[in-house]
Amino acid sequence: MPKTWGHLQKLDIKSFFEVGSNPFSAWLAQEEILGLLGTALSTPLIPMNNPAPAGIGEDRLLAKQVDQGTLVMIQGQLGETTHNDLGKLVTFAAGFAVTGIVWVGTFISEEHRHALDWLNNMTASSACFYGVELELWQIDNSAPAPKFNLICRPNAWARSLNVEQDIQASRASQDEVPLTATGLIENKAELPEPKDHASANPAIPQPPEKEGVAVRQNFVYTKSYT
């Protein structure tokens, strides 16, 4: 048993980074920090050697997945996420045609977590959305230790269900009876048998009786009433 124990405390991130400033994304772009982030994502990440492409913005950076060689866009921000941030995330991801989208923040709200899960379930398997919350911890007077908590990731089981549903829908559409240019069914066996109206013998409606006149078997006779 150790004689003394260290005191673990959570640090205020804002005391290390200024909100809305470029140093936060520059800090994320460091090889050591990307390595920690890649560990949380279960995929190794390395920074891009080339300069950041024009138009990507100060809050976003590009990294590369070592095992797949694909591009990953990382959007880092301090403070709570907003709808505007989510819109920028999707817009820039589409513009740079990346396969991995990582949203790093100090707090990702429940509604934005749900949005990321929905995007993972609705998009193709090649596009993956991740939500990561950043924390800084310290033991006594030690150096600050970043901790990335993965809170949103693609659900392989849900995506497999979507693929199965697409396959079943495709098979169902192939089994449908083809239509001609006029929209008629080509398979005449599917058409209902026409009714023979001539053979039908509907009951002939009888006219209502009038006063003093009666109809019996097509003979008309009169009665006198006193």
pTM above 0.85, yes or no: no
Angle at 27 between CA 21 and CA 28, to 5 degrees: 105
Alpha helices (H) in the chain, listed in sequence order: 23-28, 31-41, 83-96, 110-122, 156-175
Q: What is the pLDDT along the chain (226 residues), one digit of tens a residue?
A: 767 888 999 998 877 876 555 578 888 989 999 999 999 999 899 988 666 666 677 788 899 888 888 889 999 888 788 899 999 888 888 888 888 999 999 999 999 999 999 999 887 667 899 999 999 999 999 999 999 999 998 876 555 555 445 545 555 566 555 545 444 445 545 555 555 555 555 555 555 555 554 444 554 445 555 4
For residue 106, which of 4, 19, 34 has the smallest C-alpha distance? 19
